[in-house]
Amino acid sequence: RGAVLFAGYDLDSPTLGESPGVVLASIRSSGVGTGPDPRAAEEVARGLRERVPEADGDRFDELLAAAREAMDLRDDNGPITAEWPLGLLRLAMLEVGRRLEASGRLRDSDHVFELGWDELPAVVAGAQQP
């Protein structure tokens, strides 16, 4: 799981494998109660619900339930559909960047992230210029 992006969905965001300090901090804080307090979320929802006109209360409850389900779905799917595949792509691009820098075709390996979608496959296939 070290290939998972954790700081964003951009390819220039680091993976967990590149950030051992983040992993260590997560392990150290586990079980300490650093996560969100579900009671606080319920208090906020109750406060919002009280501000909704009575005639719209049922609709508010339906929309809130749908939003919570969608958030759970996003939380479940994010790592599999984006964070992990993009992390794998990042690691592959970093390796391409290292090789291009070693061969003198890039000044800096991180410049690989500046290549266009059509340039990257071309240089991997052997094109001398991006």
| pLDDT tens digit sequence for 59-97 | 999 999 998 887 766 666 777 788 899 999 999 999 999
130 in any annotated domain: no
Residue 69: domain span: 16-124
58 in any annotated domain: yes
Is pLDDT of 121 > 70? yes
11 in any annotated domain: no
95 in any annotated domain: yes
Mean pLDDT (the chain, rounded): 87
Q: How far is 16 from 1, CA to CA, in rounded Å? A: 8
DSSP 10: S
61 in any annotated domain: yes
5 φ, ψ to 5°?
Answer: -70, 145
- What's this model's pTM, rounded to 2 decimal places? 0.65
pLDDT number for residue 83: 87
Instruction: Work out how many domains the chain is built from and give that number.
Output: 1
7 in any annotated domain: no
59 in any annotated domain: yes
